[in-house]
Chains A and B, each alone.
Chain A
Amino acid sequence: MVERSFWQKTKWKLVVSVALSLIIWTVSGLIGFPRLFQWMFMGYVIGGLLFFILLDARPMKERSGGAAVLSVIIFYLIISFVYTINGALWPQYNPAEEKEKIAKLMKSVVSPKQKIGELEAKVEELSKKVEELSTRPAAPAPSGEAAKKAAEKVAGIPAKAGPSPELIAQGKEVYDLYECYNCHKIGGKGGVKRRGPELDHAGKEFTAEQLKKRIWYPYAPGTKATEGFEKEFEEQTMPDYYTEQISKEEMEALAAYVLSLK
């Protein structure tokens, strides 16, 4: 059998690549890939074509001495250029946005020593509270009419002290600042993978105190998993460090925002 020439082989590869491009473009469009993804696939076809041309290329002439050194330097320059430019071609985010965000987060910046001191004070305060509660005689649980009244009273609290629109807007900012959207969805947005409950109706499900407790102490004794998120609860997917991150004021605002979702 006669070996085909390099040009003949290349011609054949070009034909296959054009056909393949048409098929991929059509099929990917039909199954719903956005246009940018389709272009990326075309890039692959071109890359694949170049690679297959290289596979059957004629053997390279040997180089030695100065020519070899020069060719290696040129080769390095080419790879360096391609890798560096490659980084610039992908979408970039604007560091100014992050700088702004960091500036907000740095408001409460303290030294590690101060932080430890604060935490110790907090632990002491909580321990005192626990001690106080455990020594106090338990009040009899309300029943019947009394329980109904108590429930109405609790339910009525948010309505009575309705948060201002400014506080809710501030809460939305806190929600974005701490990137709660990484795991939770609101209005179908956020959480690529299903990690945390959707918050569209959180206002109907929690009181302000319950919500704050779930954010600050997600694994406190007695806390139960939201239905359908038992595995995530067991794996402790919800961060348990927000007591150290989210200030009281920020939490007030965050709770106001989440509770406004009904």
Chain B
Amino acid sequence: MNTITSRWKIWGPMIPLLLIPILAYAQMPELPPVELGIGNREVVWIVMQVHLLFAAFILGAPIFVVICEFIGMRTKDARYDRLAKEVTKVTSIAYSLTALFGGFAILVLVGLYPEVTSYMIRRFFPVVAIIYPLLFIGETVTLYSYWYTWDIWKEKKGRHLAVGILLNLFGLATMFAINAPTSFMNTPPRPLATATLWQAINNYTWMPLNLHRTVGNITFGGFITGLIAAYLYMASKKDEDKAFYDWMGFVGNLIGIAALIALPLMGYIYALEFYKYDASAGLYLMSDRLSMHWEINGVLTGATFLAGNFYIWLSMKRVEGANRFAPYVKAGFIIILICNAIWMTPRHFWPVMQVPEDLVARLELPPHLGFLALMPAKNTAAFLTVLVTLINYLLYRRALKTGKIIWGRIDFISQYVLIFLGFTSIWTMAFMGSVRSFARKYFHVYLYIKDTTPESYTPTLAFTTAMATLITWVFFILVSFAIWLALISGMQKKGKEG
């Protein structure tokens, strides 16, 4: 193991523990918040979002990894074990970066938003100061145990898998714990003054957020694995490696798409809870200031489903005799395009609830077509898209039964599709995460703690997309660094063995 990588892995997660004195500093009320002059909100936005993206990866990837290791153990196919190990290597480097950004996030929150941060820490003290650190330590111990025992317990796979499952349980519990304050800020229990800690944790959107993030993280883990596979495929010189990374890309895409299928439903449940909590919050999210953000969400969802299915199409093209399924797959693409058009048809092309009288005829659907903008139409479109994706995969499986597949001989464009899926899933998370945050309107804690800073307004869509791009680039550069570290440590090992 590379020494720098090992040190980085061991000390990185300890960084948040060094921040305890800073939390004490946060309790000095006479100190005014720091004004950076470049926008306090933007700084918090970038740091928190990059932390969240890493967190999503380190939570999603182990689920994916343990599934792969289990399949490898059952089928005796060594490729699954190699895939799981390579992704875990990147995950353990990314883990340190997650912790680093977590610590950085606390720093900026305490410095830039001391009052609300202090309030949140006190409100959730047992969660953020006891449960969360304990879970975090548990996750750290199990992750590194899982990684370092990989070769030692080569013959004791059951035991190794048990550590992997424990790692996932710690990971999920950590996420559930930190989702409590996050969801609380959107939907605090009412009346707040008399709410117990459990009521604050188990607020309206806590469980929907847990579900949404769990499924989203698996999707994310799958697509990032596809991205890693694409990088390594491009870097491979040997046919044997190309074949492996081609296969790895396929598995990454498959798991990403499989989880993506459930994501619209999770998103629907999440949005529904917003409406149930407060119809006006739901409307703000779907029909008012944030309505046009859903158009972008439509573009992203459509692009992800199209790209995922396009990848299945490319995989199918290299299977002998699979040509006979081409007309069905093409018909499926037409259905996906139509469904996406329905998904994206808004009630009005206007970014606030009330369209000016003189523009209604030009920008709003007439009443008899209004149904296209409502949830039943959107749900039908989502259901059909999911169904077509499932059928495409079944067709692929059927093609495999009669034809032979040669791994490593896929159209090279497929690697760009995998990169596109990785990039789009990161961008989508960066973008939709901010939408969730904006749903609080001008409150830190919805309806209870107003945001009195000059940046309490909802940013424009153009600004939000620019921020999502910037955040994606920051994350991409850091992930590429993690992959590069994993790659050179692997090459060093191979060199020594050779």
Closest to A33 in B: B369
Closest to A178 in B: B280
B423 within 8 Å of A (CB atoms): yes
**Can you list, as one digit per residue, whether each of B111-124 has a CB less than 8 Å from chain A (1) or not (0)?**
00000000100000
Q: A44–B337 contact, CB under 8 A? A: yes
Q: B450–A51 contact, CB under 8 A? A: no
B368 within 8 Å of A (CB atoms): yes
What is the count of residue pairs linking A and B with beta-carbon distances less than 8 angstroms? Answer: 180
A239 within 8 Å of B (CB atoms): yes
Residues of A within 8 A of B448 (CB): 112, 115
Q: How far is the CA of A103 from the CA of B494 in the complex (A)?
A: 64
Q: Which of A57, A80, A88, A93 contacts B473 (CB 8 A)?
A: A80
Given A36-B363, A91-B349, A116-B193, residue A83 in contact with residue B468 (CB < 8 A): yes
B279 within 8 Å of A (CB atoms): yes
A32 within 8 Å of B (CB atoms): yes
Q: B412–A119 contact, CB under 8 A? A: no
B488 within 8 Å of A (CB atoms): no
Q: How far is the CA of A199 from the CA of B484 in the complex (A)?
A: 64
Closest to A92 in B: B460
Q: B457–A182 contact, CB under 8 A? A: no
A95 within 8 Å of B (CB atoms): yes
Closest to A28 in B: B369
Given A44-B337, A87-B462, residue A36 in contact with residue B289 (CB < 8 A): no
Q: Which of B441-476 contact A (CB under 8 A)?
A: 442, 447-450, 452, 456-462, 464-466, 468-469, 472-473, 476
Given A87-B296, A116-B193, residue A93 in contact with residue B337 (CB < 8 A): no
Q: A241–B460 contact, CB under 8 A? A: no
B397 within 8 Å of A (CB atoms): no
Indicate the size class of the contact surface on chain A: 35 or more
**Can you list, as one digit per residue, whether each of B38-72 has a CB less than 8 Å from chain A (1) or not (0)?**
00000000000000000000000000000000000
Q: How far is the CA of A57 from the CA of B317 in the complex (A)?
A: 12
Interface secondary structure of B, over-half rule: helix
Indicate the size class of the contact surface on chain B: 35 or more
Given A55-B313, A102-B456, residue A75 in contact with residue B353 (CB < 8 A): no
Q: Which of A183, A193, A244 contacts B447 (CB 8 A)?
A: A244
**Can you list, as one digit per residue, whether each of B312-335 has a CB less than 8 Å from chain A (1) or not (0)?**
010000000000000000100110
A181 within 8 Å of B (CB atoms): yes
A159 within 8 Å of B (CB atoms): no
Q: How far is the CB of A82 from chain B (nearest CB, A)?
A: 9
Q: Which of B132-140, B144-152, B159-167, B413-421 contacts A (4 or more CB under 8 A)?
A: B413-421
**Can you list, as one digit per residue, whether each of A110-125 has a CB less than 8 Å from chain B (1) or not (0)?**
0010011001100000
A2 within 8 Å of B (CB atoms): no
A90 within 8 Å of B (CB atoms): yes
A106 within 8 Å of B (CB atoms): yes
- Give the interface of A toward B (CB within 8 A): 31-37, 40-41, 44, 47-48, 51-52, 54-55, 57, 59-64, 68, 72, 75-76, 79-80, 83-84, 86-88, 90-93, 95, 98-99, 102, 105-106, 109, 112, 115-116, 119-120, 179, 181-183, 189-190, 192-193, 195, 235, 237, 239-241, 244-245
8 closest A-B pairs by beta carbon, nearest first, are A87-B465, A93-B351, A88-B462, A60-B412, A60-B413, A59-B411, A98-B457, A68-B234
